[in-house]
Structure 1
């Protein structure tokens, strides 16, 4: 999954500033539903990552069954925090 593709799929644009608050809310709702339905670990991680960057991600123990996936998510959180992009 490509970041721009995810943004376009859920928000209709790759520039969130162009999406109305209603479109953003609807996109986040669809992301949450798709995360809950996703069985592919990579897809779940991509969806969770986007939700995290939007400040809407569920807790790691809710989102991921595998410890390796939770650790990867922690690494992403640390990288984003170090770059000043922490949104969670």
Structure 2
């Protein structure tokens, strides 16, 4: 999935810095709806990670209650993101 294309689709812009708070909120709602309606697992996970990056993702247990593999992947993603945020990139 292309991040610019996702922003264009859900937020009507490729440049998030141009969004007003209202436009951002509407985009997040469209993204949440897209996440809920998505059935292809890879796309669903990608939309969840974007929601997480924007600070609006549901907890993995709620987001992927019927998909244990995706729930585990989301939990691992959160662990990695926390580690990176706390300790930085070990390759730098």
Query: Which residue of the partner structure matches residue 59 of structure 1?
Result: 59
- The higher radius of gyration belongs to 2
Unaligned runs of at least 5 residues, structure 1: none
Which sits farther off after the overlay, 73-82 or 31-40?
Answer: 73-82
Q: Secondary structure at the match of 1:24?
A: helix
Q: Please, what TM-score do these two structures have when normalized by structure 2?
A: 0.80
Q: State the 1:15 CA deviation.
A: 2.9
Q: Please, what TM-score do these two structures have when normalized by structure 1?
A: 0.83
Structure 2 residue 17 is matched with structure 1 residue 24: no
Greater RCO (CA < 8 Å, at least 6 residues apart): 1
Q: How does 1:41-52 map to 2 (within 5 A)?
A: 41-52=41-52
Query: Which residue of the partner structure matches residue 73 of structure 1?
Result: 74
Unaligned runs of at least 5 residues, structure 2: 87-92
